[in-house]
Amino acid sequence: MMKQDDIFYRDDLVMAVINSKFVGNNPGHAIVVPLKHYENLYELPEKEANQIMKVAKEVAIAMKEVRKSDGVMIQQNNEPASGQHAFHYHMHIFPRFEEDHFGENRSNVRVANPKEREPFSSAMKEYFSKRKV
C-alpha cells in the first residue's frame, strides 16, 4: 500500500509515487496518477492526460539520471482484459537495465516495505526539488 513518503512529486492535477510493488529485478518503479478519480484512459480529461504525460516524461528522464537506467518502459492498462487491477487511472514508469530479464521476472512481484522504498523516493524527491515541471 502506498504511503505518504512514497510521493515524490505533486501538483494540482497529478502526483508521482514509487510503487509499493517491486517487479522482478527492477525495484522502485514509479507511477503517475491523477488526483481526481478516473477509472481508465477513456474517462481521463485531456488536461489531466497532458499533465500525466508531461510528468511521466520527467520521471523517465529522472530514471535515466538518478537510477542510471539503460532505458525506461512506460505501461498503462485499461480494463481487466489488459491487466488493469487498480481501477484508478495510473501510468507505470519502469527503469530498465541491460540484462535485467524483465520479461522473465515479470511474474515475480512483491509488496516492498516502506523502508525498502525510501531510497528510491528520496532520490526522486531530490531530483524533482531541483526541477520545474
Is 90 an active-site residue? yes
For the chain, the three-class secondary structure string (H helix, E strand, C coil) is: CCCHHHEEEECCCEEEEECCEEECCECCCEEEEECCCCCCHHHCCHHHHHHHHHHHHHHHHHHHHHCCCCEEEEECCCCHHHCCCCCCCCEEEEEECCCCCHHHHCCCEEECCHHHHHHHHHHHHHHHHCCCC
Catalytic residue among 37, 90, 92, 101: 90
Catalytic residues: 90
